[in-house]
Amino acid sequence: MQSICISHVAEHVGEEVELQGWVYNKRSSGSLVFLIVRDGTGFIQGVVAKGEVPDEDFQACDELTQESSLVLRGIIKADKRAPSGYELSVTGVEPLHIAEEYPISLKKHGVDFLMDWRHLWLRTPRQAAILRIRHEIIGAIRTFLDQREFVLVDAPILTPSACEGTTTLFSTDYFDSTAYLSQSGQLYMEAAAMALGKVYCFGPTFRAEKSKTRRHLTEFWMVEPEMAWVDLEGNLKLQEELVSYVVQRVLEQRRDELVTLERDTGKLENIKPPFPRISYDEAVEILNKNGVEFEWGNDFGGGDETVLAEQFGLPVFVHRYPTDIKAFYMKPDPDRPEVCLSADLLAPEGYGEIVGGGQRIDDPELLDLRIREHDLPKEAYVWYTDLRKFGSVPHSGFGLGIERAVAWICGLDHIRETIPFPRLLNRIYP
């Protein structure tokens, strides 16, 4: 008898098989017991009929509780009435472990309660669907970049300096000095791009932002491509191709999971390049026309980004932000130095920025000036300024936040569900 996963039952109709899993739900009707079983790949109903299994197997069903582990043996049957289209006519039941009273019942619970039990909440169909879509998004990103000859380069997590600003750093003792948890691998990718041409890193990043919004985590994952000899225009073209590819692949490969989440897939079907582009100046005009009092030179908040994105049915690029509100390494526009060659990609439906990037300063003297203007410790950036002294070239890159992309594609209300174990301002457990 072959042991199979639930996801493969369609290949074994009419065959007797073995399934290993956990009891998600149970109900009985006299001589029949209906077991909803999950195994991590899917769900299936097993029908246990008295007289068709050994008496001890039927009696064992009485002891089964939610999340008890077991082995089921039976014949796979096609059944249009079943949620999965298939059913297991059980011939044998082998309990492995009878679970204690499960804290998460099938009724609704509050979010704080569920977050305390996050290690068990992951077992529900909704959370499993989100994690599978997350997996697909990550796989799609890597496939897209690998097919375009990008090289994966690992960036350090412990760093001696800031990338995005000194106010959001997590510090830690590092022997006789201080180190910081990485805000971004970008600076290191710039070094790697000068060696390999096109590179990317993928890993966790940390921001000590005291924010409780639905868009912020203190620990999140980011993919950060960096490219030598590529300007802002080439950068934006790659971004829209990447995002479109990822969305379409999720639609192709994870449609069932999107259905589980009740996602309106019609809003995703049209995510194809080119994406609309507006300048920061145009964005300010749009906000003012829509009744938002916004002063030129300020950065956009979440509400501002939502208003801007509502004007378009696609993700929209906002480019050429004021130089003063962007990171020290952003290259000023040669024709208008008060703005820089930067761009953020805002997702539709109120999900805000999912990609941020731009063209980097390639002039060594200008980079030194910007480091001084931002009051950064020069000694921590000697290696970074070296990149402009030994064969400097135009280069650019971007960072795509995995969790924000997952939230948008899945249509989630809060970013906390996008990562297995979220780290928030008020939560580091479990």
Specify if 38 maps to a domain. Answer: yes
Q: Say if residue 340 is in the same domain as residue 247.
A: yes
Q: Is pLDDT at 107 greater than 90 in this prediction?
A: no
The confidence band for 232, taking pLDDT boundaries of 50, 70 and 90, is very high
H/E element, 371: helix 364-373
Q: Say if residue 21 is in the same domain as residue 157.
A: no
Entry field: residues in the chain = 430
Q: Is pLDDT at 165 greater than 80 in this prediction?
A: no
Q: Say if residue 219 is in the same domain as residue 295.
A: yes
Q: Give the mean pLDDT of the chain.
A: 96
pLDDT of residue 31: 95
- The pTM is what? 0.96
Phi first, then psi: give them for residue 56, nearest 5 degrees. -65, -30
Give mean pLDDT, residues 243-262.
Answer: 98
Q: Say if residue 218 is in the same domain as residue 253.
A: yes
Place of tokens 């049209």: 270
Give mean pLDDT, residues 96-115.
Answer: 95
pLDDT of residue 402: 98
Q: Say if residue 90 is in the same domain as residue 171.
A: no
Domain with residue 70: its CATH number is 2.40.50.140
pLDDT of residue 162: 73
Q: Say if residue 253 is in the same domain as residue 394.
A: yes
Q: Say if residue 143 is in the same domain as residue 225.
A: yes
The confidence band for 161, taking pLDDT boundaries of 50, 70 and 90, is confident
Specify if 336 maps to a domain. Answer: yes
Q: Say if residue 188 is in the same domain as residue 291.
A: yes
Total domains in the fold of the chain: 2
Specify if 103 maps to a domain. Answer: no
pLDDT of residue 82: 85
Percent of the chain exceeding pLDDT 90 equals 93
Rg value, the chain, Cα: 26
pLDDT of residue 307: 97
Domain with residue 224: its CATH number is 3.30.930.10
Angle between the N-to-C axes of helices 402-410 and 232-253, in degrees from 0 to 180, rounded to the nearest 10: 50
Q: Is pLDDT at 37 greater than 80 in this prediction?
A: yes
For the chain, give percent helix, strand, coil, nearest 5.
35, 30, 35
Q: Say if residue 188 is in the same domain as residue 320.
A: yes
Specify if 363 maps to a domain. Answer: yes
Range of the domain at 40: 2-97
CB–CB of 250/263 below 8 Å?
no
pLDDT of residue 359: 98
Specify if 430 maps to a domain. Answer: no
Q: Is pLDDT at 81 greater than 90 in this prediction?
A: no
* DSSP-derived secondary structure for 68-125: -EEEEEEEEEE-TTSTTSEEEEEEEEEEEE-PPPPSS-SS---HHHHHHTHHHHTTSH
pLDDT of residue 157: 97
Report the C-alpha gap between 127 and 386 in whole angstroms. 46
Give mean pLDDT, residues 97-109.
Answer: 94
Q: Say if residue 79 is in the same domain as residue 128.
A: no
Q: Say if residue 93 is in the same domain as residue 126.
A: no
* DSSP-derived secondary structure for 257-303: HHHHTT--THHHHT--SPPPEEEHHHHHHHHHHTT----TTSPP-HH
Specify if 52 maps to a domain. Answer: yes
pLDDT of residue 30: 87
Residues 6+ apart with CB under 8 A from 364: 385, 388, 389, 392
pLDDT of residue 277: 98
Summarize pLDDT for 322-350 with one digit per residue, the tens. Answer: 999 999 999 999 999 999 999 999 999 99
